[in-house]
Structure 1
Amino acid sequence: MIPREIVLLGSTGSIGTQAIDIIRRNPDRFRVVAIGAGGGNVDLLARQALELGVDAVGVARASVAQDLQLAFYAEAQRRGWATGGFRLPKILAGPDAMTELAEWPCDMVLNGVVGSLGLAPTLAALRAGRTLALANKESLVAGGPLVRAAAKPGQIVPVDSEHSALAQALRGGTRDEVRRLVLTASGGAFRGRTREQLVGVTPQEALAHPTWDMGPVVTINSATLVNKGLEVIEAHELFGVPYSAIQVMVHPQSVIHSLVEFTDGSTLAQCSPPDMRLPIALALGWPDRVPDAAPAVDWTTAHTWELRPLDEEAFPAVALAKAAGEAGRCRPAIYNAANEECVAAFTAGDLPFLGIVETLERTLAEAPDFAEPGTVDDVLAAETWARAHARALIASGADRRGA
């Protein structure tokens, strides 16, 4: 078997480090040829590069290029390698580094970059003809029309657990046989609460996720259900299913990752313990599975799994995301960017919890009539407007109705 050559973007983050764990355990199947990251942890980046023997390393922050080079020498010394006794990878530095790596000769690009910085590498990988394992939400949420125009059928493989589950279940029928996609949501820290019970909740409470260990922004997005709204937009863009045929159910156990309902009345679900190594491994090996990527459900014990309808009065973020997606014209990008500002304000104590989605709603309602994006700059311009407008609303106290 010839190993599949991988370019790994966002190698020092959660997705990247778990991908490396899978690759490390399957050297006959995968070889990493290049890695890239923002530059906040050059020591880890250097360790990864020398362990994997990559040809190139990229950092988005040009100012840390020299620090990275010094980290290479320090790591080589730690390993007992003589000066000049190892090959130094090519270093790419600056805002275009991830895009350059996305075009590096390889079989697959795994895009685990966080934020809108991931859109340009996504487009570069697609245009270079690479298979794209996509973990960067913003590529599809903010740049959906651009990605659709660049991607060939089957070129994108989803990494998110929900979309990986849908991709697996969709193998059970043809596109014409699909009636509905059902994404499951853990419900976040406040599942089961009414809108009245969400008044005055604190950032510390919002960060206490009952199932997943995620970063602060994603964890708060889970508490507001904004994260699920973003995933609904992603599902529409990935699978071409209309928003009216995409539903969200609350599933506290986080074992059923999503379901597909077919026209004959049957429903297929993908189930596994909450472990991101499984969807990452499936994306790397797609369409083949990687044996023992993660532990399976223990079928020797009893299980009780719940599925509940989403309370859209308490958690209106999903309905708001659907409306933004249906409206198009950069509304999904505005939704995402404004939310990031609101989460930062909530974390800092400048916005109440309910004010997050209220500010999103006002920002979308007051947005100018942007055109459908034709370039990355169009997306970034809409995001810049959204951030400024959300900050202005927060500063004015106009959305403190949730206090």
Structure 2
Amino acid sequence: MSQKQENLIVVLDVGSAYTRVLAADLNEGALRYRAHSVVESAGMRKGLIAELGPAARVVKSASDQAERTVRVNIDECVVGVGGPNVMGVNTTAGLNFGAKMREISRDDVSAAVERARGVSLPPDREILHLLTRQFVLDEQPGIHDPVGMVGSRLEVDLHMSTCSGSAQQSIITCANRAGLEVTDTVFEAIAAAEATLTADERELGVCVLDIGAHSTELVVFFEGAVAHTGSIPFGGQHFTNDLAVVLQMPVAHAEQLKLRHGHAVVTAVPQLDEIEIRNPNPTMIRHRMVAEILEPRARELFDMVRRSLRDGGVLGALGAGCVLTGGASTLPGLLDVTESILHVRARIGHPVQLSRMPSELTHPAYATLVGMLLYAHRKRVTKTAENNSLRAKLRAIFAASL
């Protein structure tokens, strides 16, 4: 095994059903796929880590599989954070510079953001992301970067995405036990948006729903900025469990039934169709019976999504509609339910194709994983540009002093 490769980026998604690792490197400025691994999760309960030991062993296994493929040491990663504990908060704060106008500096922007983030949060809440929605300079809204502009009052509208501190630390500890240093964390819905949204959708207003096994994470963009984030303790496993309970069959059989014959709209299934199920003996049932079990759950999920959007004040801001990603997003009929309840158009979000990436990774189940890679790459590019700018300024200062 060779030493660590400097331009390698590795991301880790510890999900309720599966733990996934994806690695890529930079090739002539573009991301190039190197390896991925998928291992069935362990130690998880309702979207959160319940047992560190089994969860860490799975992460270690996934990391080792990817490491054998890339043939370099993997010792750090970016980790996704999701689950039912994520919530967003919008806040506003401002700075007065007196009656005389002056040029806005980067320090002024930082001070305004720090004042806005001073909002009181519940105990055990950690800030995942500080995202500026807009700056307002002397009552002029819609400013993305006020540095260099002139004014006497600067305000910032800020969105803070927060999560349970203990839940976040559990994921980091899990990765550490597997021999991985966590260099950054990212909210999974924001990652999924990186891989699935267009610039126009972000500008017009769009909601991304990342529907996992036990929870659904969501993020809303409006006018190019994050306007709302949240999470709903409801995912694809709830659909499966309903089938298992009503039809009195093992959960594994119910999952296969959902995948093969599931539909979220009863009237879309022919009334006279019959299918065979095993519980344990072969039995014929009406095909519509499966949809009659699944449709109420689908409508319940999107009623909860609608409530979250309304509470966040963004229900009427979805000019570009709704994008569904995640392993449970492909249930037939789910787009129809989305459009019926949210009254916007909806589509499935497939992640963008990276160089040399296998076609299987373009499935919506991998949108978060691919998006985390794009997010980590963008952060690295931004940090490099800032460091280069700082070095250039220091060189200019030293040159002027000679």
Bin for the TM-score computed over the shorter chain: under 0.3
Larger strand share, 1 or 2? 2
Pair member with larger Rg: 2
Bigger relative CO (Cα 8 Å, ≥ 6 apart): 2
TM-score in terms of structure 1 length: 0.28
Larger helix share, 1 or 2? 1
